[in-house]
Each structure stands twice: as C-alpha cells, then as structure tokens.
Amino acid sequence: MRERQLYRADDNMKFNGKRFCDVKNVVSDGERKEICIMKKQKVSGLRLYIHYLSIIFRSAMQYKVSFLLMALGQFLVSFSVFLGVYFMFQRFSNVKGFTYSEVLLCFSIMLMEFSLAEIWARGFDTFPSMIRQGTFDRVLLRPRNEVLQVLGSKFELVRIGKVLQALVMFVYGMTHVEVRWTAAKVLTVVFMLIGGIGLFTGLFMIYAALSFFTLEGLEFMNLFTDGAREYGKYPFGVYGKRMLQLTTFVIPYALVQHYPLLYILDRRDNPFYIFLPLLALWFMIPSYGLWHYGVRKYKSSGS
Amino acid sequence: MKKYFSFFRLRLITGLQYRTAALAGMTTQFFWGFMEIMVFHAFYEADPTAYPMTMEATASYVWLQQAFLAFFGAWMFEGEIFDTINNGNLAYELCRPIHIYDMWFVRSVALRLSRALLRCIPILVVAVFLPKSYGLGLPASHYAFMWFLITLMLGLLVMVSLNMLVYVTSLFTISGDGLRILFCSVVEFFSGQIIPLPFFPEKVQRLLELNPFASMGNVPFRIYSGNLAGQEMTRAIVIQVFWLLSLIALGRVIGAGGERKAIIQGG
Amino acid sequence: MITMEHVCKTYRIAKRNAGFSEACKALFHREYEEIHALKDVSFTIDDGEMVGYIGPNGAGKSSTIKILSGILTPDSGNVTVDGRLLWNSGSKVPLTKQERCSRIEHVSQIGVVFGQRSQLWWDVPVIDSFELLKDIYSISEPVYRENLVELTELLNLKELLRTPTRQLSLGQRMRCEIAASLLHSPRILFLDEPTIGLDAVSKLAVREFVKNLNKNHGTTVILTTHDMQDIEALASRIILIGKGQILMDGGLEDIRRGGESMDETLAELYRTYEI
C-alpha cells in the first residue's frame, strides 16, 4: 500500500459507490488526523487480456473491407490445399490404410488446432518484428508479464477463414466416416483441440524465443509450425515408424492427431486415448523456459 | 544494364552475408522436400498403377521445385516497388529514359535469380546423392536437359510477367493484401506447386495445361525427367512462349496506361 | 534518488564487411568486435532534480537510460533507483537475486518517453489508449481521473482525446505520449529526445509542461536530447557522456561561455573532449 496523498476523511471516501481507500488514524504535527491510504488493487491478467482484445477489435473494425478480403484469402489458401488432397484421392483409394474421409477428419482437426492457435498466439508468430522495431522495449517498460502483453498485442480473427474451411471438412469427414459417434469421441475431439492449441502455442513461443538469439535463422522453425500443419494433413503414422516416434516423444504432434484419431476411428478402444491429447500440454513447459531464457538474454545484451 | 548487374551483385552479397539465414533456409527447404517425397511414397505404396508419373520422376520434380523455389514463388513481390507506387517516388522513376515496365521487369528477374542461385546448388548437390526413388535423378537425355534449361528460363520470365501484371494494375488501384493472397494461392494451385499437374484427373489436366500458370515450373521439371517429351513437349513449349509474349504485351499496355495516368495525376 | 556506481557495459557485435570476397569469407568465419558502451560510469541524482544527459550519438546515453529503467542489465556496478536495488555486483556483500527489485515493481514507478517510438495504440482514440494503460498500471479510478484532468488541462489535450493516434500531428502526438507516461504518477520521468521533429509551438509547450511538472510534483526528470535549447530551458545540471565515460558533471554555468549559442558551446565541448 502506498500513501499517495492526504485526503480529509469524508472527502472521496467513495467513488462511484466503491470504497477505494482505508482510513487510518495517525498523529501528525501533534494533531490526530484521519487519512486515507489508497488501496492498490491490481487489475487481473484476465481482465487486462479482455481489454487488449477489445482494443484490437476496435482497431480492426476500422478496416472492415480489408478484413473480409483477408479472411476470404485465408479460406482460399486452405481450400487449395484441400483440393490437392481431393484430387489425390480421386486417383488413390487410400493411403497407408486411411481413406479419404478419414484423412479429411485428420486434416480438419489438425487445421483447426493450428488456426485457433494462430489466432490467439499471433503475437508470438510475428514476434521478430517486435524485436526489429524495438517494440519489445516498451513491453519491458510496462509492469506486466511479457507473455500476457505479447498475447495481448495481436488477436488475428482473420484466420477464421481457415477455421471455417476446417469445419466444412470436419463435417464432411464426420458424416462420411463409418464409425459410431459417442460422447467419449466428442470429448476426444475437444481434448485434441485443447492439446493441439497448446502445442502450437508452445511452438510459436519457441519461434519467438529463438528470435532473441537469431533473426535470420528463424526460417527453420517454420517447419515445425507451418510444416506440421501441412504434413499433418495425413496421420503421422503414414510417414513411417521413425516419424511416428519423433512426433510422439520429441514434439508431441501424434498425441493430438494420430493416436486419438485411431480411437475415434474405432481402431483402438482403450479409453486412455481420450485423455492422451492433454498430455501434449507438457510441451509448453520447455517452451516457456526457452522464452524466459531468451528474455534474460535480451535484457543482458540489449537489442 | 550495368545498373541491374550491380543490383544483382548487391543482392548476392547481402544473401551471402546472412549465412545463418542461408543455412536455415536450405535446411528448411531440404526437409520440406523430404516430407513431400514421403507423402508421395505413401501414396505410391497404396496403388503404384494409378501413378501418372514414375516415382523417380516425381521425386526429381519435388527436388527441382525446391531448388528453384525462388523462380516460381508467387509471393515474392518487391516491397520497394509497391512503396514507390504508394508514396509518390514514382515521379522519380518516370524521369528515367526507360519504361517502368522494363525497369521493374529486369529488377524482378535479378531478384529471383540472385535468391535462387544461393539456394539451388546445395540442394541439388545433396538431392543427387539420395537413393534412387527419393532423390534427384539424372536428366532423361542431353536433349531433355537442354530443353529443361531453356524452358526453366522461359518459365522464370512467365512468372515475372505475371508479377508485372500485379504491379502495373496497382498503378490504377491500391491492391490490398487480400488480393495478393488470392493471387498467390491461385498461382500455386494451377502451376502444380500443390500437387504436380499429372496427378489431376485426365480431363482436368487437359484444361489446366492451357493456363499460363502451367507454363512455369510445370514444363521444365517434367521435361527434365522425361515425363514431358516429343510432341507433347513441343506443344507445351509453344504454349509457354505464347503466354510469355501475351503477358508481356498485356503488361506493357497496362503499364503504359499507368505511366500516362501517373504523369497526369502527379504520381 | 538515483545512484550509479562504477557501471560497465560491453556489447559484442558481428562485423559485416562490404565486398564480395569478404562476404564469402564471412560464410566460414565470423569476426566480432567489442563495443564498450559504458566504462565505469558513476553519478548520483537527487529527488526532484532535472538533469540534462548529453553526448554525441553512440556515447552510451541510451544504454544508461535502459539500465536505469531496468530493461538492460549492466556487466558490473551498482544501480539503485528510489531505494530499489536494480543491480549490484562486486560490492562488499553480493546480494541475492531475491533482494534485487523485480522489473515489474520498478517500471510501475517510472515513466519513459521515447521521442521516436510511440507507446499509444495506433488506430484507436487516444483516450482508449489511456484507459488501457490505466488497467496495465492498475491505476485506481480516482487517481486516474485526477491525473487525466490535470494532464488534459496542462497539455491542452481536450480536442485530441477522441482522435485516433494515427491522425495526430507529431506535436500533438508527443503531448499525448507525455501524458500517457504520467498517468500512473511516476516519481521519475525519462525523456529521450522528446522534442525531436516538433514545431516551435509544441516545443515550448512541452518544455513549459516539464518545468511545471518538476516544480509542482517534484518529479525527477532525466532528459536526453541534442536540442540545446531544451537543456537551457529545463536542466539545472548537465552530465556529459562521451565514448562510454562521464566527462563532465556540473551546472549550466559551468559550460556556458558568454556570447556564444549553446550549440556552439556544445560543439566546442565535444572538440575539447575529442568525442
């Protein structure tokens, strides 16, 4: 609590009906006085985040046409990728035992995971520009957690175009796949989304953390974000045993794509698979660790 | 002309300076190519008979595409040119005794050439040493190789002439990012960068091969492995040249119109 | 009170040479050079002082400001601001990391204005930026209202508050930036080139405001600038830094030479110290 100023006890005790200070009796200059000590109430991180979102929204509303065009562009980009898959399956009936609708299911869920993560964690995805333009200095000058500020700097709803594309594919896949949908399976999909969003957020965070060390070698990291989205069209088992191992234990893509998918397609029936996607959230720990280390390095070596 | 050589040289030097970027870029591209080939292999195992090209030809296609990405990447626009259009520096460019179309054309070629040169050699070298159906095969014949090189350059010019269309039309309007994304995804799809054109169904393929986008990477990469040969090859080259001349002509007309407009309005 | 004791800071950057052969060489062997930004810098600034921190470009000014704001860690030395220990090393009893003040605690008590970079949100009205800052700094409602009224009046912001930042002129924007950095009632204000690019009227308004701020609220002000008229108008004390070292620390009278303009005096000063 900081003593900001002396007020007379009955002035300003309430402001908009809320009490904002505590009254204390002190002796000053030989006199008994009542003073108000301002209560320092910290605005919660969540409330601040919502405030960030509202300002982003108000900024975006100034450019409505551009927004629509860009959302359309996003839809078209992923639509052309979809067409690629479609035409491949015109020729081939299946790939490593997965049919067209099954692949669509896999693709759509992966795309949703990626796009939703991209929408909310775009601040990390575009973090290199924050470093280049010196905006990160301003982040450090504000009395808030850096992660919260970076998340609050961007919320790209434009990418909803990709989410829509994914939803369409999901509905198609869901209705054409020969499985019975149970509550457990729906829960599995929900957990896949949660785990997947967490995984990609962690990957974006690593991308941002790497930009503290090199601004030029970053292209490689795209492989793990865009690359995973691109090649995650097909269940990772399609790429062979080694790939499956890598994507299970090193970067847990398979935990939010391949294995729960097998459960949904009735190829596994162990209920453990329902909760497996949540395990992928462990990845956010090393991501945050690298980020933290990167911030320290930035503070010691300037920009 | 000397100016463009020094522009090219400068780009090359800048590219070399950033060795981390070059290394990262090459490794990235290498992995993208590798994953792409894994996908094709998976489909090959499903049904080899349904494959329109040999696996070796497909692998070569993928590697050539990665190596020459800078030639046919639809997204490679020069921010400087758009800035010039938007902030009024156009006035300076118009003062030169050369059409802006020609200026920007040569610049774009120089940009793509310098970028490709840095990347393509290491990728090609590594790809050649990969096992047969995973790596870059040797060209089908000396004849095929010669035509590969010719159509590669022609394809580059077609890409640049498409770029130019975007530049010159933006002299009339401010083309937004949305339109550019649209342009990129259309080009990527129809030029065979999502999947090679032979993989499309027969009927669709016939149509696709007529569009300008099919006259870029599609032609040289298939000539190289012999997938496109004989009469079909001749046909493809003729279409390529046709599109090149048409697009340049169209671009110059619009460009000249844009120049006039800029002179009247003051940039 | 601000205390800097024997602060040193060195940067290591990669050398980039022009020319084709050099570029090829750089592919295999990268050379680095060391830049000594701060060499044994020490000074003390009391509460309520207004200090002009001057020196040529690359002298170490921005490094000092960054260290004092807590966003850059020095290599060695002690830094204390307002009783908060920011950094210490090599003192008699090295203190633990816990006893060092956290970044968040420190920055909530200072204000920083960069002349060339904006801290307001670009596409929304200024008042929206202020309200967001209110939440970021957790400023209580009555304090916010009081500060806003005072700043609006003194900086003449009434018509500007509803305007989006991108539509403001540089002078208008700078007044809003200064207001934004004072909403949370910081006791120390760092001004980095605040009058750069401003027209004469705005410059006077800014100077007038800063002088009054210092007088009425007792805010400590550290001003880095190349504009000697700013210094003349505001600073009672000048610290000159060159090539990483404090070359002079004294009052305006110490450097003023009768009949000359301040710029000429400054140029002479640079020549004397060979910076």
Is the pLDDT reported for residue C137 higher than 90?
yes
Q: State how far the Cα of C86 lies from the Cα of C67, in Å rounded to an integer.
A: 9
3-state helix, strand, coil in chain C (%, to 5): 40, 25, 35
List Cβ neighbours of A290 (8 Å cut-off, separation of 6 or more).
A205, A206, A209, A210
Q: What is the per-residue pLDDT for C98?
A: 60
- Kindly tell me the burial class for residue A74, based on how many C-beta atoms sit within 10 Å of its own C-beta (0-12, 13-18, 19 or more): buried
Q: What is the pLDDT of residues C70-81, one digit of tens each?
A: 999 999 899 999
Q: What is the per-residue pLDDT for A29?
A: 67
- Of the ranges A199-203, B101-105, C251-255, which one carries the lowest mean pLDDT score? C251-255
In this complex, is the C-beta atom of B145 within 8 Å of any C-beta atom belonging to chain A? no
Average pLDDT over residues C202-206: 90
Q: What percent of chain B has pLDDT over 90?
A: 17
In this complex, is the C-beta atom of C175 within 8 Å of any C-beta atom belonging to chain A? no
Q: What is the per-residue pLDDT for B20?
A: 72
* C213 — pLDDT class (breaks 50, 70, 90): very high
List Cβ neighbours of A41 (8 Å cut-off, separation of 6 or more).
C138, C140
Q: Which tops the pLDDT comparison, A14 or C181?
A: C181
DSSP reduced 3-state for A6: coil
Chain A residues whose beta carbon lies within 8 Å of the beta carbon of residue B32: 223, 227
Candidates A95, A266, A256, A81; CA nearest to A166 is A81
* C262 — pLDDT class (breaks 50, 70, 90): confident
Q: What is the per-residue pLDDT for C197?
A: 85
What does the block give as tokens for A186? 């729906």
Question: Domain boundaries in chain C?
Answer: 1-15+32-109+220-275, 110-186
Chain A residues whose beta carbon lies within 8 Å of the beta carbon of residue C70: 140
Chain A residues whose beta carbon lies within 8 Å of the beta carbon of residue C104: 143-145
Give the dihedral of Cα atoms A210, A213, A215, A217; nearest 10 deg: -70
Q: What is the pLDDT of residues A166-196, one digit of tens each?
A: 999 999 999 998 888 899 999 999 999 999 9
CA atoms within 13 A on the CB side of B53: 26
Q: What is the per-residue pLDDT for C257?
A: 67
Sign of the CA dihedral running B139, B145, B151, B152: positive
User: Phi, psi at residue A26, to the nearest 5°?
Assistant: -130, 160
Chain C residues whose beta carbon lies within 8 Å of the beta carbon of residue A143: 104-105, 107-108, 136-138
Q: Which residues 2-61 of C are in CB contact (within 8 Å) with A? A: 11-12
Q: What is the per-residue pLDDT for B104?
A: 85
Chain A residues whose beta carbon lies within 8 Å of the beta carbon of residue C72: 299-300, 302
Q: Report the residue count for chain C.
A: 275
Q: What is the per-residue pLDDT for A8?
A: 40
Q: What is the per-residue pLDDT for C247?
A: 87
Q: What is the per-residue pLDDT for A13?
A: 46
Q: State how far the Cα of B258 lies from the Cα of C258, in Å rounded to an integer.
A: 61
Q: What percent of chain A has pLDDT over 90?
A: 64
Q: Do A140 and C137 touch (CB under 8 A)?
A: no
CATH number listed for the domain at residues C1-15+32-109+220-275: 3.40.50.300
Q: What percent of chain C has pLDDT over 70?
A: 90
User: Phi, psi at residue C113, to the nearest 5°?
Assistant: -120, 120
Question: Domain boundaries in chain B?
Answer: 2-265
Q: What is the per-residue pLDDT for A42?
A: 85
Q: What percent of chain A has pLDDT over 70?
A: 87
CA B98, chain centre distance (Å): 25
* A208 — pLDDT class (breaks 50, 70, 90): very high
Q: Do C26 and B17 touch (CB under 8 A)?
A: yes
Q: What is the per-residue pLDDT for C113?
A: 94
* B107 — pLDDT class (breaks 50, 70, 90): confident
DSSP reduced 3-state for A255: helix
Q: What percent of chain C has pLDDT over 90?
A: 49
Q: What is the per-residue pLDDT for C72?
A: 92
How many other CB atoms are found less than 10 A from the CB of residue A23? 13
What does the block give as tokens for C61? 């000014």
Is the pLDDT reported for residue B63 higher than 50?
yes
Q: How many CB pairs under 8 A join B and C?
A: 18
| DSSP-assigned states of every residue in B196-239 | -GGGS-HHHHHHHTTSGGGGSSHHHHHHHTTSS-HHHHHHHHHH
Is the pLDDT reported for residue B258 higher than 90?
no
Interface probe, candidates B43, B173, B183, chain A, greatest A C-beta count within 10 A: B43
How many other CB atoms are found less than 10 A from the CB of residue B91? 12
Q: Do A81 and B194 touch (CB under 8 A)?
A: yes
Q: Do B45 and A220 touch (CB under 8 A)?
A: no
* B16 — pLDDT class (breaks 50, 70, 90): low
Q: What is the per-residue pLDDT for C19?
A: 64
Neighbours of chain C (3+ CB pairs under 8 A): A, B
Q: Do A87 and B204 touch (CB under 8 A)?
A: yes
- Of the ranges B11-15, B32-36, B48-52, B219-223, which one carries the lowest mean pLDDT score? B11-15
Q: State how far the Cα of B3 lies from the Cα of A300, in Å rounded to an integer.
A: 43
Residues of B with a Cβ under 8 Å from any C Cβ are 9, 12-13, 16-17, 19, 22
* A12 — pLDDT class (breaks 50, 70, 90): very low
Q: Report the residue count for chain A.
A: 303
* B135 — pLDDT class (breaks 50, 70, 90): confident
Q: Calculate the average pLDDT of chain C.
A: 87
Is the pLDDT reported for residue A14 higher than 50?
no
B21 to chain C nearest CA, in Å?
Answer: 11
Q: Report the residue count for chain B.
A: 267
Q: Do A55 and C135 touch (CB under 8 A)?
A: no
Q: What percent of chain B has pLDDT over 70?
A: 91
Q: Rg (Cα) of chain B, in Å, rounded? A: 20
Q: What is the pLDDT of residues A117-166, one digit of tens each?
A: 999 999 999 999 999 888 999 999 999 999 999 999 999 998 999 999 99
Q: Are B9 and C20 in contact (CB under 8 A)?
A: yes
* A16 — pLDDT class (breaks 50, 70, 90): very low
Q: State how far the Cα of A72 lies from the Cα of A80, in Å rounded to an integer.
A: 12
Q: State how far the Cα of A53 lies from the Cα of A65, in Å rounded to an integer.
A: 20
Is the pLDDT reported for residue C169 higher than 60?
yes
In this complex, is the C-beta atom of C104 within 8 Å of any C-beta atom belonging to chain B? no
Is the pLDDT reported for residue A5 higher than 60?
no
Candidates B60, B54, B165; CA nearest to B108 is B165
B114 to chain C nearest CA, in Å?
Answer: 14
In this complex, is the C-beta atom of C128 within 8 Å of any C-beta atom belonging to chain A? yes
- Angstrom distances, CA of residue C21 to CA of B15, B17, B22, C33: 13, 11, 17, 20
Q: State how far the Cα of C257 lies from the Cα of B246, in Å rounded to an integer.
A: 74
- Angstrom distances, CA of residue B180 to CA of A119, A126, B165, C5, C83: 20, 19, 12, 55, 55
